[in-house]
Structure 1
């Protein structure tokens, strides 16, 4: 598991050049235990920081997705429907239907 974590961290690290990544990978395959130990000692703190950044980015993306999917509150839906009615995009009957649907979602 440590080897896979180290390999993933190597590819995640943007500061390390491609040549250094190749050297680390070569040593990981030739002398895996010693190289893993040296890598964890030398680059462990940066490895933890990169992992934290990746988790924070994934959490932020998840939160943004949930906000977009969750929808808006009933008053926003009614205001949107009213603006559509005022612009002539929907009829008064459609406005009443949208308004009733928004209010029914609020009561649930």
Structure 2
């Protein structure tokens, strides 16, 4: 261990970290190339060849040229995932008509809302655990 100074260990770790960061960026660029709707097949193939044959320069060029649209696609995908999740939660919670009424005219989701409010009050310390349990039991019965 005497023939490998601490400074060399630091430089090795730094280069290893930068290499790992570049790998993450390379995979991000490749996935962005394939999910991009505004690129045709030949353009996608061209960017892929540039990114793989000129690894560091190709990734850097892609980020410089298409970085802004890459961010917009990320935001759009996140919004679509969030909307799909919210739709799934609404579907799993039960169906509602325009007024939030169920089939028997009773408001559905009321217990869910009340339980959420109770949990919030408990988290804030406004009610004790015993009060929370009593109110929860009362709601669910």
**Could you state the TM-score of these two structures normalised by the residue count of structure 1?**
0.69
After the TM superposition, list the runs of 4 or more consecutive aligned residues in structure 1 that deviate by more than 2 angstroms: 77-80
Q: 1:11 aligns to what?
A: 34
Higher relative contact order (CA 8 A, sep 6+): 1
Q: Which structure has the highest helix share of the two?
A: 1
CA distance in 2, matches of 1:52, 1:67: 23
1:76 paired to 2:108: no
Q: 1:57 aligns to what?
A: 80
CA distance in 2, matches of 1:63, 1:29: 38
CA distance in 1, matches of 2:95, 2:33: 41
- What per-residue deviation string (whole Å, max 9, x for no partner) do you get for residues 13-54 of structure 1? 111111011011111111111000011011100000001000
Unpaired runs of at least 5, structure 1: 81-105
CA distance in 1, matches of 2:80, 2:86: 10
**Could you state the TM-score of these two structures normalised by the residue count of structure 2?**
0.54
Unpaired runs of at least 5, structure 2: 1-23, 107-137
